[in-house]
Amino acid sequence: MQNRSLVYSINSTQSFNLPQSWLLQFSVNYISQRATAQGEDGAFLTPHFTVKKLQQISVGTSSFNG
């Protein structure tokens, strides 16, 4: 089998910082159609949506004078 076709993927992510340590994130992945030994494999579009509450982590240092 000989095939000369263009196969491509597109990935995109956007993040938005909101008040009170909230984060919104949108991602989209697209994979084009591609030829296989059995014919053509369909295109895929996979969107993702994430909402996160970020936690503040404090790291303290102390000194000891002995």
Contact 16, 49 (CB under 8 A): no
In a domain, 28, yes or no: yes
pLDDT beyond 60 at 3: yes
Give the pLDDT score at 25. 96
In a domain, 1, yes or no: no
- Per the structure, how many domains does the chain have? 1
The strand pairing partners of 60, in sequence order, are: none
Give the pLDDT score at 2. 66
Report the distance separating Cα 28 and Cα 50, nearest Å: 12
Token code pair at residue 45: 């579009």
The domain in which residue 15 lies consists of 9-53
In a domain, 2, yes or no: no
In a domain, 30, yes or no: yes
Report the distance separating Cα 56 and Cα 23, nearest Å: 13
In a domain, 66, yes or no: no
Report the distance separating Cα 34 and Cα 6, nearest Å: 8
Give the pLDDT score at 6. 85
Q: What is the pTM of this model?
A: 0.61
In a domain, 24, yes or no: yes
For the chain, the C-alpha Rg in angstroms (whole number) is: 23
In a domain, 60, yes or no: no
Tens-digit pLDDT profile for residues 5-64? 788 999 999 999 999 989 999 999 999 988 877 878 888 999 999 999 988 777 776 665
In a domain, 18, yes or no: yes
